[in-house]
Amino acid sequence: MTTMTSPSSNQRSDKFASHLANHLDGYAAQTKGKTGLKRIINAAGYSKDGLIAAYQNEAAFRQVAWLNSILLVALIFLPFMMPIKMILVFSSFFSLIVELFNTGIEASIDHTSTERHPLAKIGKDVGSAAQLLALTMLFLLWMMALYTTFINFY
Residue 12 assigned ligand-binding role: no
Interacting residues of 12 by C-beta distance below 8 A, sequence separation 6+: none
- As a whole number of angstroms, the distance between CA 89 and CA 83 comes to 10
Residue 39 assigned ligand-binding role: yes
Do residues 120 and 109 touch, judged by C-beta distance below 8 A?
Answer: yes
Residue 125 assigned ligand-binding role: yes
Burial pattern 136-146, b for ≥16 Cβ within 10 A else e, equals eebeebbeebe
Do residues 67 and 47 touch, judged by C-beta distance below 8 A?
Answer: no
In the residue annotation, 99 being an active-site residue is answered as yes
- As a whole number of angstroms, the distance between CA 111 and CA 34 comes to 27
Residue 62 assigned ligand-binding role: no
Marked catalytic residue, from 88, 99, 127, 138 = 99
Residue 19 assigned ligand-binding role: no
Residue 48 assigned ligand-binding role: no
Residue 115 assigned ligand-binding role: yes
Residue 23 assigned ligand-binding role: no
Residue 14 assigned ligand-binding role: no
- As a whole number of angstroms, the distance between CA 154 and CA 148 comes to 7
Phi, psi of 73 (to 5 degrees): -65, -45
Q: What amino acid positions are annotated as catalytic residues?
A: 99
Binding residues for ATP: 39, 46, 58, 106, 115-117, 124-125
Question: Which residues make up each annotated binding site for substrate?
Answer: 39, 99, 128
Task: Enumerate the known binding-site residues for a divalent metal cation.
Answer: 58, 106
Binding site membership: which residues?
39, 46, 58, 99, 106, 115-117, 124-125, 128
